[in-house]
């Protein structure tokens, strides 16, 4: 029988190869799934891996979806590196969107372009506040952040639902649960005409650089991560675990809130019950598949965006349910965790067996 | 008065879902494993159970299929966590994310299906007692089954040798290993049992509690069940009590809405989640108390012979 043998140190090769192997495994299962459903697997794979990159417009759409995923994942990367388990980014995203939407609704024809800055800031603060609640309950009451952050996702959805069914409902909206369409001036500036790609993408890429510098080139970033890797060592070095907790949650909440603001004032343009699109959960997978490394997350965000677009295309062109996206996302994380065994262990055939 | 009897009946019904899942999770947590995949297992079990009943017309087969689905997913989780030593939190989360997507994917054809109406279950004679009858004795057999199971679990955990071994594995896997017990197999058995019970809870939701299939219909009950084990400081009797308490909170919203109380429905829907957060904060306030009661190896990987 195969045996696992601990490596003297973690394998750098497998740390990078494991996500690739996990993707291959997911694709294999995908092929089997398409065949089981009586669909041409080649066409199925095309929807996911070729259609999203075959034209400039398609590439733009790929970036539109990759942007919120990357922004949220960058924040989660800091969080998970600090061993803080925030799994409620979806709720922080929604509250960011709500706060940003609240500001955007104030705008009218006379408002200046500065409103965009206010919208983005409101989004960041909204997400921070929601994650801050998690930090407060963890810090003061020792409440498990996994459960609290997740419960707050449901609460955030209800806040959004209350607003769009109640006080913020568009009076001229034929009773649909949605806010007024935001004034044109609130639109996050686009990078070029003919594509929906906005400055959000640039913000995300700046975020990658900032996160890299923070994590690997500053003392604060180092202190932040030591707490996660070796709590005892962190205490000995005098690094505050409480501070690490607050920083982790405020950064990840702020990032998720920013993504929420970029979405509502960008592609969506109003508040509806469909603002939560699962980006907050998908970003968890982005963070892991990207090895919690800012640059790695760029690749995994694009990959996850392909899954989203592929799922939509599989629905419209192959007649498959869109939820196939969720199946592949879950499979990818599963296979990644399994493949990661190879980072710490090698497979051996025991002698004489 | 009649409406209070109905509220109590509904509370027991809602509490049963939470009790089955939380007792299952308690078993694997006693062995030292946290499975954050409860929500995903319950969703997959809900659609499996529902589809089985649609095709066979048998509730029993539906429950069995739900338990099977939960057990298979839990076994997969167990293999990764126990043999490959993957992170328990991340793996459980992967299971939940997968379960949400997978159940929606396979359930798409069942969204319009309805289950045939079934006769109301009644305990002979007792169900005719005024007030008490409608409140307590007109329930699905599984409601009583959950209570019986909780009692059996107390006996098993604290009065049998196997129960003692299970707890030992959770408190100190190294000692249990040194005594010659196969820690990994015991943990796997506990995880699979926990998954089967989550599966039963999931199937109960889609077959009895709200007999239909809607995407994401478990609506966080798996996560609340996870929180319940902490609330109950890992004691089965308290898990049962907590489950009814939260069943009551869930049902209160319908009761209040029915009574014409003028509160936004979203506030009432959010109530169980807010209540979970509040209770979690109150119970966890004293870290020492949690640490004393929590299985000592909870969430930690165990490698024999290393």
pLDDT in tens, A227-254: 877 778 888 888 888 899 999 999 999 9
CB contact (8 A) between residue A324 and residue B270: no
How far off is chain B from A142, nearest CA to CA, in Å?
Answer: 6
- Going by C-alpha positions, the residue among B116, B103, B131 that lies closest to residue B41 is B103
Cβ contacts (< 8 Å) between B219 and chain A: which residues? Answer: 154
Q: With beta carbons less than 8 A apart as the criterion, state whether B246 and B272 touch.
A: yes
Cβ contacts (< 8 Å) between A326 and chain B: which residues? Answer: 97-98, 100-102, 104-105
pLDDT at A7: 85
Q: How far apart are CA B78 and CA A264, in angstroms?
A: 40
For an interface test with B, which of A14, A139, A330 has the most B Cβ atoms less than 10 Å from its Cβ?
A: A330
Q: How far apart are CA A353 and CA A198, in angstroms?
A: 60
Cβ contacts (< 8 Å) between A334 and chain B: which residues? Answer: 76, 80, 91, 94-95, 98
Longest distance between any two alpha carbons in chain A, whole Å? 83
CB contact (8 A) between residue B227 and residue A165: no
Instruction: Choose the closest CB to B104 out of A6, A142, A323.
Output: A323
Q: What is the DSSP string of A158-215?
A: HHHHHHHHTTT--TTSTT-S--PPPPGGGSPPBSSTTS--BHHHHHHHHHHHHHHHHH
How far off is chain A from B86, nearest CA to CA, in Å?
Answer: 6
Min mean pLDDT across A236-240, B157-161, B273-277 is at A236-240
Structural tokens at position B67: 């338990």
CB atoms within 10 A of CB A272: 17
Instruction: Choose the closest CB to A329 out of B84, B89, B101.
Output: B101
- Average pLDDT in the A321-330 region? 90
- Residue A194, Ramachandran bin (φ over 0: left; ψ between -120 and 50: alpha; else beta): left
CB contact (8 A) between residue A334 and residue B95: yes
CB contact (8 A) between residue B101 and residue A327: yes
Phi/psi for A199 (5° steps) reads: -65, -15
Tens-place pLDDT, residues B92-101 = 999 999 999 9
Tens-place pLDDT, residues B224-262 = 999 999 989 999 999 999 999 999 998 887 778 777 777
Min mean pLDDT across B62-71, B72-81, B105-114, B130-139 is at B130-139
Q: How far apart are CA A282 and CA A304, in angstroms?
A: 7
For chain B, give the mean pLDDT: 91
Instruction: Choose the closest CB to A158 out of B93, B266, B287.
Output: B266
Cβ contacts (< 8 Å) between A2 and chain B: which residues? Answer: none
Q: How far apart are CA B230 and CA B290, in angstroms?
A: 8
Structural tokens at position B36: 């954050």
Cβ contacts (< 8 Å) between B100 and chain A: which residues? Answer: 281, 326, 330
Check whether A302 has a pLDDT greater than 80: yes
Structural tokens at position B116: 């045939």
Check whether B305 has a pLDDT greater than 90: no
For an interface test with B, which of A158, A177, A304 has the most B Cβ atoms less than 10 Å from its Cβ?
A: A158
pLDDT at A351: 66
How far off is chain A from B183, nearest CA to CA, in Å?
Answer: 17
- Average pLDDT in the A270-274 region? 94
- Neighbour-count burial of A344, counting CB atoms closer than 10 A to its CB (0-12 exposed, 13-18 middle, 19+ buried): middle
Instruction: Choose the closest CB to B101 out of A141, A147, A323.
Output: A323
| Total-model pTM | 0.93
Min mean pLDDT across A50-64, A124-138, A230-244, A332-346 is at A230-244
pLDDT at B138: 83
| B131 shares contact with chain A (CB less than 8 Å) | no
CB contact (8 A) between residue A334 and residue B230: no
| B58 shares contact with chain A (CB less than 8 Å) | no
Check whether B69 has a pLDDT greater than 70: yes
pLDDT at B1: 60
CA atoms within 13 A on the CB side of A348: 10
How far off is chain A from B278, nearest CA to CA, in Å?
Answer: 9
Cβ contacts (< 8 Å) between A85 and chain B: which residues? Answer: 89
| B84 shares contact with chain A (CB less than 8 Å) | yes
Q: How far apart are CA B235 and CA B52, in angstroms?
A: 34
Residue of B nearest to A288 (CA): B90
| B226 shares contact with chain A (CB less than 8 Å) | yes
What is this model's ipTM?
0.91
Q: With beta carbons less than 8 A apart as the criterion, state whether A101 and A271 touch.
A: yes
Check whether B118 has a pLDDT greater than 90: no
CB proximity list for A280: less than 8 A, separation 6 or greater: A72, A88, A89, A90, A91, A92, A93, A94, A153, A256
- Average pLDDT in the B176-186 region? 94
Q: How far apart are CA B5 and CA A339, in angstroms?
A: 54
Q: How far apart are CA A83 and CA A335, in angstroms?
A: 22
- Average pLDDT in the A261-279 region? 94
Q: With beta carbons less than 8 A apart as the criterion, state whether A160 and A249 touch.
A: no
The dihedral sign for the CA sequence B36, B41, B42, B44: positive
Question: Which of the given ranges, A119-123, A140-144, B266-270, has the highest pLDDT on average?
Answer: A119-123
Min mean pLDDT across A106-115, A251-260, A285-294 is at A106-115
How far off is chain B from A2, nearest CA to CA, in Å?
Answer: 12
How far off is chain B from A305, nearest CA to CA, in Å?
Answer: 16
How far off is chain A from B10, nearest CA to CA, in Å?
Answer: 22
The size of the A-B interface in CB pairs under 8 A is 138
CB contact (8 A) between residue B280 and residue A325: no
What angle, 0 to 180 degrees and rounded to 10, lies between the N-to-C axes of helices B88-107 and B59-78? 140
DSSP letter (8 states) at residue A188: P
For an interface test with B, which of A37, A90, A150, A350 has the most B Cβ atoms less than 10 Å from its Cβ?
A: A150
Beta bridge pairs of residue A6: A345
The dihedral sign for the CA sequence B85, B87, B90, B95: positive
Check whether A352 has a pLDDT greater than 60: no
Q: How far apart are CA B134 and CA B127, in angstroms?
A: 6
Q: What is the DSSP string of B7-75?
A: HHHHHHHHHHHHHHHHHHHHHHHHTT---TTHHHHHHHHHHHHHHHHHHH--HHHHHHHHHHHHHHHHH
pLDDT band at A353 (very low <50, low <70, confident <90, very high): very low
Residue of A nearest to B226 (CA): A147
Check whether A115 has a pLDDT greater than 50: yes
pLDDT at A154: 95
Q: How far apart are CA A191 and CA B93, in angstroms?
A: 36
Cβ contacts (< 8 Å) between B277 and chain A: which residues? Answer: 137, 143, 147-148, 151-152, 155
Check whether A11 has a pLDDT greater than 60: yes
| B214 shares contact with chain A (CB less than 8 Å) | no
| B269 shares contact with chain A (CB less than 8 Å) | yes
């Amino acid at each position: 029988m195969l045996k696992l043998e601990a490596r003297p140190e973690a394998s750098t090769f497998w740390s990078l190869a494991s996500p690739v192997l996990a993707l291959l495994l997911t694709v294999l299962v995908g092929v089997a799934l398409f065949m089981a459903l009586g669909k041409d697997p080649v066409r199925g794979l095309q929807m996911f891996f070729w259609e999203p990159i075959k034209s400039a417009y398609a590439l733009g759409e790929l970036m539109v979806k990759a942007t919120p995923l990357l922004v949220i994942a960058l924040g989660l990367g800091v969080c998970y590196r600090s061993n803080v388990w925030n799994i409620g980014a979806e709720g922080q995203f929604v509250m960011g969107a709500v706060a940003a939407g609240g500001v955007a609704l104030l705008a009218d024809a006379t408002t200046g372009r500065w409103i965009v800055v206010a919208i983005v800031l409101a989004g960041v603060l909204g997400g921070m506040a929601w994650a801050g609640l998690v930090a407060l309950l963890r810090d003061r009451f020792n409440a498990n952040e996994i459960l609290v952050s997740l419960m707050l996702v449901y609460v955030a959805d209800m806040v959004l639902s209350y607003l769009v069914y109640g006080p913020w409902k568009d009076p001229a909206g034929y009773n649909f649960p949605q806010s007024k369409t935001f004034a044109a001036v609130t639109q996050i500036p686009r990078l070029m005409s003919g594509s929906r790609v906005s400055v959000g993408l640039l913000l995300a890429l700046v975020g990658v650089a900032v996160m890299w510098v923070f994590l690997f080139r500053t003392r604060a970033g180092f202190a932040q991560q030591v707490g996660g890797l070796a709590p005892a060592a962190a205490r000995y070095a005098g690094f505050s675990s409480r501070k690490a907790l607050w920083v982790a949650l405020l950064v990840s909440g702020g990032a998720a809130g920013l993504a929420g603001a970029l979405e509502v004032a960008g592609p969506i343009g109003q508040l509806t019950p469909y603002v939560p699109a699962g980006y907050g959960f998908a970003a968890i997978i982005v963070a892991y598949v990207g090895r919690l490394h800012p640059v790695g997350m760029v690749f995994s965000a694009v990959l996850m965006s392909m899954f989203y677009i592929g799922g939509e295309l599989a629905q419209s062109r192959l007649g498959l349910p869109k939820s196939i996206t969720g199946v592949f996302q879950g499979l990818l994380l599963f296979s990644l965790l399994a493949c990661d065994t190879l980072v710490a262990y090698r497979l051996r055939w025991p002698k004489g067996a | 008065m009649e409406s209070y009897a109905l509220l109590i009946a509904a509370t027991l019904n809602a509490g049963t879902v939470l009790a089955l899942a939380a007792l299952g999770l308690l078993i694997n947590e006693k062995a030292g494993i946290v499975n954050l995949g409860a929500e995903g297992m319950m969703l997959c079990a809900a659609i499996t159970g529902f589809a089985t009943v649609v095709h066979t017309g048998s509730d029993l087969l539906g429950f069995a299929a739900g338990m099977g689905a939960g057990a298979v997913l839990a076994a997969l989780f167990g293999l990764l966590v126990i043999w490959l030593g993957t992170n328990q939190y991340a793996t459980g989360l992967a299971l939940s994310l997968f379960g949400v997507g997978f159940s929606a994917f396979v359930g798409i054809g069942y969204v319009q299906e309805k289950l045939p109406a079934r006769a109301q279950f009644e305990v002979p004679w007792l169900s005719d007692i005024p007030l008490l009858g409608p409140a307590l004795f007109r329930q699905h057999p599984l409601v009583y089954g959950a209570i019986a199971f909780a009692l059996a679990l107390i006996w098993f955990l604290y009065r049998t040798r196997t129960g003692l071994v299970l707890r030992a594995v959770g408190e100190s896997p190294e000692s249990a290993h040194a005594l010659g017990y196969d820690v990994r197999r015991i943990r796997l058995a506990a995880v699979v049992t926990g998954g089967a019970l989550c599966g039963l809870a999931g199937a109960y939701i889609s077959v009895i509690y709200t007999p239909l299939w809607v995407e994401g219909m478990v609506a966080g009950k798996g996560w609340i069940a996870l929180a319940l084990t902490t609330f109950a400081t890992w004691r089965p009797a308290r898990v049962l009590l907590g489950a009814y308490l939260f069943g009551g909170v869930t049902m209160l919203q319908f009761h209040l809405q029915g009574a014409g109380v003028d509160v936004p429905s979203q506030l009432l829907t959010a109530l169980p989640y807010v209540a979970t957060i509040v209770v979690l904060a109150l119970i966890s306030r004293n870290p020492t108390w949690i640490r004393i009661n929590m299985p000592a190896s909870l969430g930690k990987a165990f490698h024999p012979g290393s």
